[in-house]
Amino acid sequence: MNSQTPANVPNIENWNLLLEGKVAVVTGGGGGIGRGISELFAEHGAIVEIAEIDAELANTAVQEITSAGGNARAHIMDVREESDVTDLQKKVLDTHGHIDVLVNNVGDYRPLVRFLDSSPDSWKEMYDINLHHVFLVTHAFLQSMIDGGGGSIINVHSVEGMRGYPGDPIYGAMKAAVNHFSTCLASGFGRKGIRVNGMGVDLTQTPQVNYISGYEDADHLWEAWAPVGRLGWPEDQARVALFLASDLSAFVTGHNIPVDGGSHAGGGWFFSPEAKRFVNRPKTL
């Protein structure tokens, strides 16, 4: 008998509660993009387990989510530390038995060290904060996701892992590794009900990257810097994460979506507000 029928498309019962009852782990879920993701997931009915190094941020996030009627818990920890990740795994699985969604969001370009000044120590630092924990946390939860009937893994990386980044090729390489890890993991575990996708972030206002400060007089240049013509916010990232976490994207796996206001697509060609045309060798914009 042919098992290929439209009934294989998961039913969405409530489009306003896309993650109802789902258990979601969000690393770095207390601040920036991770905070936006935690809030939107909770709004859509998820039980959010926030893995966060900053206690104040973590506790504030949980307070605000719960006072808005959501469900969240904080784990104050460093995702780079294997013992911390083992503790997280134990606490989360002791409570729920499995997880449905994992968002590996922690990452940082700082301290920015130019390649000629860099060293094995600085390479290791970039590796630890951008890549090692993605392996650690994924490894800690993947089996429980399979046993629980499947789930979605979302790896937040950077547009710099999808295009040439002259500023720091080590950072770019770590983000590209997260990008490709997502694709490889997806191809290996799709048949076990696991979907894996990456988000190539750019141009999003957070505590880590302040795009406004120092650029107050350059507001008119946003239409040059981003095809959508504006700065992005954690909510912009969270909406894409919600799509990837939920059954809305049930047939999407192994992909890396630039969530960048179009900077990747538009790279190389800048819109000049002054000339009112696209230029690829701007002397001024």
Q: Could you tell me which residues are beta bridge partners of residue 47?
A: 23, 71
For 110, the token pair is 């700082």
Min dist CB 32 to ligand NAD, Å, is 2
Q: Is 52 in the site for ligand NAD (CB under 6 A)?
A: yes
Q: Which stretch in 18-26, 143-151, 162-170, 201-209 sits in contact with ligand NAD by CB under 6 A?
A: 201-209
Q: Is 31 in the site for ligand NAD (CB under 6 A)?
A: yes
* Distance in angstroms (rounded) separating the CA atoms of residues 186 and 76: 29
Q: Which is nearer to ligand NAD, 101 or 148 (CB)?
A: 101
For the question of residue 215 being annotated catalytic, the response is: no
Q: Which is nearer to ligand NAD, 183 or 208 (CB)?
A: 208
Site for ligand NAD, residues 149 to 168, rule: CB under 6 A: 156, 158
Residue type, 26: V
Q: Is 89 in the site for ligand NAD (CB under 6 A)?
A: no
185 CB neighbour count, 10 Å cutoff: 23
Q: State which of residues 64, 71, 78, 252 lies at the interface with ligand NAD (CB under 6 A).
A: 78
82 touches 118 (CB < 8 A): no
Q: Is 202 in the site for ligand NAD (CB under 6 A)?
A: yes
**Annotated catalytic residue, options 165, 171, 211, 215:** 171
Alpha-carbon distances of 61 from 9, 70, 80, 93, rounded to whole Å: 34, 11, 21, 21
198 touches 156 (CB < 8 A): yes
- β pairing state of 256-259 and 151-158: unpaired
Count of positions on this chain that bind ligand NAD (CB under 6 A): 29
261 touches 227 (CB < 8 A): yes
Min dist CB 15 to ligand NAD, Å, is 27
Closest alpha carbon to 243 in 133, 103, 66, 74: 103
Burial class (CB in 10 A: 0-12, 13-18, 19+), 152: buried
Q: Is 198 in the site for ligand NAD (CB under 6 A)?
A: no
Q: State which of residues 208, 243, 252, 264 lies at the interface with ligand NAD (CB under 6 A).
A: 208
Q: Is 179 in the site for ligand NAD (CB under 6 A)?
A: no
Residues 6 or more apart whose CB falls under 8 angstroms from that of 5 comprise: none
Q: Which is nearer to ligand NAD, 235 or 274 (CB)?
A: 235
31 touches 107 (CB < 8 A): no
* Distance in angstroms (rounded) separating the CA atoms of residues 105 and 268: 28
Min dist CB 281 to ligand NAD, Å, is 26
Q: Is 70 in the site for ligand NAD (CB under 6 A)?
A: no
244 touches 20 (CB < 8 A): no
Please tell me what DSSP assigns to residue 13. Answer: S
Q: Which is nearer to ligand NAD, 33 or 65 (CB)?
A: 33
Q: State which of residues 24, 25, 28, 46 lies at the interface with ligand NAD (CB under 6 A).
A: 28
Q: Which stretch in 101-109, 218-226, 250-258, 272-280 sits in contact with ligand NAD by CB under 6 A?
A: 101-109
Q: Which is nearer to ligand NAD, 23 or 57 (CB)?
A: 57
Residue ranges in contact with ligand NAD by CB under 6 A: 27-28, 30-34, 51-54, 57, 78-80, 105-108, 156, 158, 201-204, 206-209
Residues with active-site annotation: 171
